[in-house]
Amino acid sequence: MIVSWQPVVLVDIFGSVFSLLIGFWSIGYSWSWYREKADDAFRHYLFLLTIAIATFTISRSFGHIVKQFLLMSGDKGLWQEIAPFSGAVNTATFIVIFAFGVYFDRIRQIKQKADQDALGLATARARADAAFDSEERIRAVFDGLEDAIYLVDGDYQILFFNRRLQDLLPDIGIGQKCHQALFGNEQPCEDCRFHCLRTGDHFSYETEMELIAKRVSLTGIRLPWVGGDEVNMAVMRDISEQKRLEAQLLQSQKMEAVGTLAGGIAHDFNNLLTAITGYSDLMLLKLAQESPLRSDVSEIRRAAGRAATLVRQLLAFSRKQKAAFSNVDINDLIRNMQKMLGRLIGEDISMEMQLAVQNLPVLADPGQIEQVVVNLVVNGRDAMPAGGKIVISTEKVVIDESYCSLSAKVVSGCFVLLSIRDEGDGMDNELMGKVFEPFYTTKEVGKGSGLGLAVVYGIVDQHGGCIDIKSEVGQGTVFNVYLPLHDGADGLKHKKEDDGVAPGAGELILLVEDQEEVQRVAIAMLEGNGYQVCTAASLAEAEEVFAREKDKIDLLFSDIVLPDGSGIVLEEIFRASRPGLPVLMSSGYADEKMQWTLIQKKNLPFLQKPYSLEALLKAVQLALAGSGG
């Protein structure tokens, strides 16, 4: 077959080949251009368009080449058959490449977005879990604190609180107003301290929370909060127990101060009272019954007795006066006092005894326990000027340390509960907080010293017990005295009947006393009742006298505190030379400084100043007879 080359065919073939080259070059160039910024959507779509056009061009150029070769070979009919399909294929190729490219790219974008969203969701969930764990840890920390903590926004709404605050206020909730939830106020508190936090300051103060009946301290600061806002944080601490202990310490310090004062003056004051009492007794012996001076001297004697009682009350109140402990049954002691108490309260007040059936032994000083009962009964009597009833009851109880709030010495165990109840006017909380203070009294001037209940407090505390008050205005008062139950079985030691005092028979007594006025009155009382007396004012003088009169001295009567030593030292020196020598010790103030423990250990006879003529003669008689010596 002879092919005739025509210029148009050659040009068409040349152009198609050139188009093919341009198409492939366009694909290669656009691919490299797209790769530079694959994330650029504009470049991506332009790349797809370039591929589509280039592919269309390549397909079209390839079709032209085939067409020309068919024409040159004489197969024009074959081309006419495939020509329609060639155009359709070219068009379809363009559409498929570009449209599906765009479509699949959109799918890719959607998938990437979904992957990003999934990753963001996972990250957000991880952050939420971490935040939740962090909040739980923070809440666990706050819930573990003893202090109550809460957060409040600028509108006084509670945003957060810990478990301690919920324990104090079970009905508290998020969103409540702090002044309503904590203080029961409908409006913000007038003295609200949250205002000062806006200036960057902080606050700390104490207040009463009536809703929980506690005294608390509040401390506040300002903190950053979610979204850049700031909130107020308050820390609340229950200081009720701290305040109670502070009050108890203050009460103890007051008592200690008065006790120190009482101990300081007791010795010298009792020496003066000894002289007043002694000379009064001597004058009463010398004055006839019809003498007009007798009543005046009797008044002096009674005034001295009241002064001595006041000193004893001061010492008992301050626990400076040592008690003579023995095993005492409380029920027997109260029964023995019943008649005397009846005379004290008068006819317009009735007295009822509700004593336990079993014995209630305590280790106590009977005289001091009697003083406790008398003071409490008299206090009840004075609270009922129009009459009423006093009930005295006893029972055995078991208590723990927290039961009594007025003594830190109480330990858990069995106690004897002595209750004295009256039907008087009662007391409010303020008055109950002061009743045990020394010299505090609600009575008129001259009607009381203000030491009655303070003495009761001191005696009970000295016996290892405590005293509690229950009272309401208009409902009367109950004093509950708790004394440790004792297991001893000696029973109450009753006083012996007074058989009178026999005069002396010329016995020689060595009187060692450094106070001149006491020495003179003691000499007068002893010599006026049949005794001989030789004196000394110090330890050295006493040794000199004893060296001279060693075999003649029948009794050593010595003050414990001497300018150059102790009367107990004299007792040891003299008895080392004369075993069994009767001795009698005396002092105006018997405490540890006066070697009270040693006196008890040696079982030495002791005469407390101020003493009366009768008490002196009894003590001398018993000492000479060897009682307790």
Residue 425 confidence class, pLDDT cut points 50, 70, 90: confident
506 contacts 481 by C-beta, under 8 angstroms:
no
Retrieve residue 434's tokens: 């002061």
Helices (H), 415-565: 429-432, 452-462, 516-527, 539-549
- What's the average model confidence in pLDDT over 605-613? 85
* pLDDT value, residue 493: 42
- What's the average model confidence in pLDDT over 193-203? 72
In this predicted structure, the answer to whether residue 419 has a pLDDT above a threshold of 90 is: yes
Retrieve residue 573's tokens: 């020196």
- What's the average model confidence in pLDDT over 495-509? 68
* pLDDT value, residue 315: 67
Quote the mean pLDDT of the chain. Answer: 76
State the DSSP code for 100.
I
In this predicted structure, the answer to whether residue 432 has a pLDDT above a threshold of 60 is: yes
553 contacts 546 by C-beta, under 8 angstroms:
yes
pLDDT (tens digit, 9 = 90+) per residue, 324-333? Answer: 677 889 999 8
More confident of the two residues 49 and 146: 146
Q: What distance in Å separates the CA atoms of residue 357 and residue 478, rounded to the nearest whole number?
A: 21
In this predicted structure, the answer to whether residue 495 has a pLDDT above a threshold of 60 is: no
* pLDDT value, residue 508: 92
- What's the average model confidence in pLDDT over 65-74? 64
Residue 392 confidence class, pLDDT cut points 50, 70, 90: very high
- What's the average model confidence in pLDDT over 482-495? 61
* pLDDT value, residue 87: 53
- What's the average model confidence in pLDDT over 559-564? 86
pTM score of the predicted model: 0.47
Sign of CA dihedral 616, 617, 618, 621: positive
pLDDT (tens digit, 9 = 90+) per residue, 75-108? Answer: 655 555 555 555 555 555 555 555 555 555 665 6
At residue 264, what are phi and psi to the nearest 5 degrees?
-70, -35
Q: What distance in Å separates the CA atoms of residue 504 and residue 625, rounded to the nearest whole number?
A: 12
What type of residue sits at position 564? Answer: D
Q: What distance in Å separates the CA atoms of residue 181 and residue 204, rounded to the nearest whole number?
A: 20
Task: Rank 179-188, 347-356, 453-462 by mean pLDDT and report only the highest.
Answer: 347-356
215 contacts 209 by C-beta, under 8 angstroms:
yes
- What's the average model confidence in pLDDT over 534-546? 91
What are the DSSP E strand ranges found in 153-274?
158-161, 203-209, 214-224, 230-238
* pLDDT value, residue 511: 93
161 C-beta neighbours (distance < 10 Å), count:
26
Q: What distance in Å separates the CA atoms of residue 45 and residue 263, rounded to the nearest whole number?
A: 109
Q: What distance in Å separates the CA atoms of residue 375 and residue 341, rounded to the nearest whole number?
A: 10
